[in-house]
Amino acid sequence: MAISSDKKLNNFLSSIKKLSQNDKERVVKAIEFSSRAHRGQTRISGSTYFSHALDVAKKISDLNLTTDAIIASLLHDTVEDTPIGLNEIKKEFGSVVARLVDGLTKLDNIRISKSWLPPFKTKYQQLDRYEKQVETLRKMFVAMSRDIRVIIIKMADRMCNLETLYYLPKVKQTRIAQETIDIYAPIANRLGMGEFKCRLEDLSFPYLMPNEYKRVKKLAVQEIETRTKYLKKLRIKILNILAQKGINAEIKYRAKHWYSLYRKLKIHNLDIDKVYDLVALRVMVPTVEDCYNVLGIIHSLWKPLPDTIKDYIALPKINGYQSIHTTVFADHGVITEIQIRTPDMDRQAEFGIAAHWYYSDTKVSRLMTKKQYAWVKELMAWQSKIKSSKDLKQSLKIDMFCDRIFAFTPAGDVIDLPRGATSIDFAYAIHTAVGNQCVGAKINNKIAALSTDIKNGDIVEILKDKKSKPKQDWLKYVKTEQARDSINKIVKTR
């Protein structure tokens, strides 16, 4: 145990070698701080809390995030799980780290309510109701993060949790896997973190749908092997031809991730021969001009399938994704997808701004309307601002939901309200009858005045009395039309 964690520590330390001397000293201080704070705490998996913090920090360091983010990863569970307070963190590591840790602690409260999970006995039986709730949870997740780094650290944290999910009780496994697929993965996707998204999904898939997982694997393993063997030869052939033409290329082949394969197979009635990109070839060449040359060369060798050529270099996806895709009848008539891009475009598609969110979310999920996704467009617009912004520090802040508040009912349902809304708005947002019978409220288990503003993440319990009626003076402190109209209706008839 001690040996393996020493190895882990050394691995991590070598990943921060590139930092300045001052930054390295701060990180080392955080390592000492975190290991002291978590002393004696072990997880169900048998590893220590500190070693978990180290795992998360390693992922963040590999992504080249800021030193503050690396430090916040090391400390991310200290406020939640040890007596250490935010003030101490602020004093030792500064206000940015404290703010990041605070955000990470708060995000722990965003959970899928048990009552939403199958077997469905509640009103969430209807899938569209469920979809609406998780969409609101996604917004809440982004709103409460307030900083892009908080989201990314949380994603890394979740990935580490999934890697040791095996040790948890089954009920927890299911909840965490469901949450990952419905909340974490879509957000990663919209942030263009394609690699994260796929890994999160693939780690959750076997826990959530064990039978489907086995079925997809059984269906695809042999075929993937066959196609990979075939592509190995094709790869060398293309490399040789490009070399003759003086083009310096790198070619990878990559099997489709399990969960996205599962979704594609469902569309094609489990016919694996229709999945042309089960294993795709990815050709990377230094310049955009090279990309078009390669496309020309490939089409002179093999005929493309009609309507499969997509030029996302000339016409990038809304999220900035760039690549050329073509599907050709390659040697022996095997239908093969080939993607052509520069190394820059490749990095961006995996970790950066570009991803397949638009394609996978809008085409696969019929339940989601474009309107519901308006906030995604905002997120993407904000992304492109980051890309062009010199002042990265400023743009790491997320203000897109600054006029909205997300709060929970005691049962875990999430209610979306305008900023400044009170318990009365909350009550009417649940149901008109709940608003009309409202006599008081508990916010986070404490009795609160009905005029109190609700804050992000509050748990609000409405106290009711069937005989009670709305009061005229409520109108002074409601924010929503819905509450105002309902109160007026009753007050006026009196």
The residues of the shown chain that bind Mn ion, judged by CB under 5 A, are: 77, 157
* Sheet containing 310-311: order of strands: 250-255, 279-284, 335-341, 324-329, 310-311
**157 or 337: CB nearest Mn ion:** 157
Minimum distance from residue 47 beta carbon to Mn ion (Å): 12
**106 or 471: CB nearest Mn ion:** 106
Minimum distance from residue 208 beta carbon to Mn ion (Å): 20
Q: Say if CB 470 and CB 419 are below 8 A apart.
A: no
Question: For the purposes of burial, counting CB atoms within 10 Å of the CB of 78, is it exposed (0-12), middle (13-18) or buried (19 or more)?
Answer: buried
Cα 165 from Cα 321, distance rounded (Å): 32
Catalytic residue among 25, 32, 62, 81: 81
**63 or 330: CB nearest Mn ion:** 63
Active site residue 55: no
Catalytic residue among 62, 80, 378, 399: 80
Minimum distance from residue 209 beta carbon to Mn ion (Å): 25
Q: Which residues pair with 335 in a beta bridge?
A: 329
**77 or 337: CB nearest Mn ion:** 77
Minimum distance from residue 300 beta carbon to Mn ion (Å): 53
**107 or 265: CB nearest Mn ion:** 107
Minimum distance from residue 188 beta carbon to Mn ion (Å): 17
**77 or 346: CB nearest Mn ion:** 77
Cα 326 from Cα 308, distance rounded (Å): 6
Residue sitting closest to Mn ion (CB): 157
Active site residue 465: no
Cα 341 from Cα 249, distance rounded (Å): 10
Cα 456 from Cα 426, distance rounded (Å): 12
**77 or 202: CB nearest Mn ion:** 77
- The strand pair at 335-341 and 279-284 is best described as parallel
**157 or 458: CB nearest Mn ion:** 157
Minimum distance from residue 76 beta carbon to Mn ion (Å): 6
Q: Say if CB 335 and CB 275 are below 8 A apart.
A: no
Minimum distance from residue 44 beta carbon to Mn ion (Å): 13
Minimum distance from residue 479 beta carbon to Mn ion (Å): 35
Phi, psi of 397, deg, nearest 5: -75, 145
Which residues are designated catalytic? 80-81
